[in-house]
A and B are shown apart, each in its own frame.
Chain A
Amino acid sequence: MTVARNNDLEAQIAEWRAYMHRRRELHRTDAEELEDHLRSRITELTEAGLRADEAFLIAVKRMGSLDELSREFAREHSERLWKQLVLPGEPDAPTAARSRRELPVMVLCAAVAALAIKVPSWFGFDMSDDDGGFYARNLSLFALPALAAYFVWQRRVGPRVIGVLALPFILGAVIANAYPLADDSQSMALTAIHLPLALWLVVGVAYVGGDWRSDRRRMDFIRFTGEWLIYFSLLGMGGGVLTAFTVGTFNAIGLDAEGFVQSWLLPCGAMAAVIVSAWLVEAKQSVIENMAPVLTRVFTPLFAATLLAFLVAIAWTTNGVDVERDALILFDLLLVVVLGLLLYAISARDLTARPGLFDRLQLALVVSALIIDGIVLLAITGRITEWGFTPNKTAALGENVILLTNLAWSAWLFLGFVRGRMPFARLEHWQTRYMIVYAVWAWTVVLAFPPVFDFA
């Protein structure tokens, strides 16, 4: 009799467990923890005289609704939420209708972005002619507003945030075109590089639905940026294949398609790809498991080995680093890569896991990058004091200092974590806070550098 009852209970618990496992927000260990709780409750209730099936019902009821539970878990573990298509438990009619409209809205935004880049040509700005500078300065102003608009729609952002979002875009457009920048000036190149970065961070505000103070949402945006870059390059490669076939096949029948490719397929395709990549990241998060962390795993050891070898080579040969202007930019990019490897390792990390071998590798990578950059900075300051400041040098130097500061403090926090003295969350917190610095710097370069350096 009791055996049969126990079997019934086990079957019921197994069924309950199967329900839990269907929720992606709940990891296996969470389900195990909850099951332990459920069993404790059932034991207590049966000891108080209830029948097993009654006890089961009450215990399940007290656990709370599964929807509510998984929503809370998802909120706490946003790195899991990230892998989901939609938040569960709100299957009301408007949401369903919205997800049906998702695709058409995305296509609309992509079409707007693709057409936007053709609008200036109606007013006589020709892409292939001397107006290359115009397109270089304004490139980010074609696609990024459409991207921001897409997120505004998707996140149901309120009118006040929309106003805040519109402002930087208008400001960017005015600056890019009102400043008298010569096509071959350094300020021109700096604006072309920094305006997209500045506006990308503005898109971030739309991405987090205006909730830009939240650390977890900022981390989501960092994740999004990495995945977006990967999808964008994948689409780019596909586009390259398409272009090659277009040109080749039309050549075979004696028609020249290169004009069409250059003035339509490439620019419009690239602009639309910005939106489509964003949509892919949002919609297909679970199809390809997050790629950026995987790439990070592969390349962290390789980069660590390269940098260590480089350090050994410097020490061995006692060769000084050749500090041409390009060298500084190269080392800036190196810091960006190291920082990227660090960021995406952080973003995918289980925040409560103990430090392991990979974390030590990461630390080695960061520290060797710091040492190398220290050497380069020492060498370059001498050159700058000798030759004076130009916009390029100042920007490159400023970026170097910003990245170096970030990495140095990260290394310190990381060391504390590896030695078990500091929770990993501190490092995540530092990285998400630091995004403000990037935004301030990018906007400073765009707004202040040209007038300060006399539009040189």
Chain B
Amino acid sequence: MHITKDLVAASATPLVLGILAEGESYGYAILKQVNELSGGQLEWTDGLLYPLLHRLERLGHVESAWEVPPGGRRRKYYRITDQGRAELAEQRRQWAAVVDALRGVWNTTQSIKPITAPAWEAGR
């Protein structure tokens, strides 16, 4: 199934913040986790994750530091801030409202058969 660009873009911020809320991480690991959480349904262009991370950093939702793991390459790690957690909670409320509304629509219009669960539920 192909998920449209707009949906991918809209869900990107809560996904990344949600993953970082579990603990600090770096770009590649975040991307892999998105992939796992969505069962491979959410296709991101790898490189475009980074401008998003930089934007979140500029807004103060995350902070970053270069670290060298033992025996590894220099790598940039991202960590969520308190402000980022607040933003995540806010996004969560908004998404919950959207999901509720959609569920209502799916229930009333029985003629449309659900094919698979909506992607963002898988991503939550």
Contacts and interface: CB of A to CB of B under 8 A. Distances in A.
A77 B83 CA distance: 21
Looking at chain A, what size class is its interface with the partner chain?
A: 20 to 34
Main secondary structure of the interface of A (DSSP, over half): helix
Contact of B54 (A36, A37, A77): A77
Contact of B47 (A63, A351, A352): A63
Interface residues of B, number: 24
A64 B28 contact: no
Contacts of A64: 45-48
Interface in A414-448: 422-423, 425-426
A278 to B, nearest CB: 28
Interface stretch (B16-24, B56-64, B110-118): B56-64
Contacts of A41: 28, 46
Contact of A72 (B28, B31, B48, B66): B48
A68 B76 contact: no
B70 interface: no
A164 B45 CA distance: 39
A72 B26 contact: no
Interface in A30-66: 30, 32-34, 36-37, 39-41, 62-64
Secondary structure type dominating chain B contacts: helix
A29 B48 CA distance: 15
A33 B27 contact: yes
A428 B100 CA distance: 37
A325 B48 CA distance: 57
B47 A423 contact: no
Given A63-B47, A64-B46, A425 B59 contact: yes
Contact of B55 (A33, A63, A76): A76
Interface string B1-44: 00000000000000000000000001110010000000000000
A39 B73 contact: yes
B109 to A, nearest CB: 36
A76 B51 contact: yes
B106 interface: no
B83 A33 contact: no
B81 to A, nearest CB: 8
B51 A73 contact: yes
Interface in B58-100: 58-60, 63-64, 66, 73-76, 83
A34 B50 CA distance: 8
Contacts of A351: 58
A422 B60 contact: yes
A359 B57 CA distance: 19
A62 B83 contact: no
A18 interface: no
A37 B51 contact: no
Contact of B58 (A33, A62, A352): A352
A24 interface: no
B73 A33 contact: no
A36 B47 contact: no
A182 interface: no
B60 A423 contact: yes
A69 interface: yes
A72 B58 CA distance: 15
A75 interface: yes
B54 A76 contact: yes
Nearest to B64: A352
A68 B45 contact: yes
Contacts of A40: 28
Contacts of B26: 36
Give the 6 A-B residue pairs with the shortest CB-CB distance, closest first: A423-B60, A64-B45, A40-B28, A72-B51, A64-B47, A76-B51
Interface of B: 26-28, 31, 45-48, 50-51, 54-55, 57-60, 63-64, 66, 73-76, 83
13 contacts: A34-B47, A37-B28, A37-B31, A37-B46, A68-B45, A68-B47, A69-B47, A73-B50, A77-B54, A351-B58, A352-B54, A423-B83, A426-B60
Given A33-B76, A68-B47, A422-B60, 8 more contacts: A29-B76, A37-B50, A62-B45, A64-B45, A64-B46, A68-B45, A69-B47, A76-B58
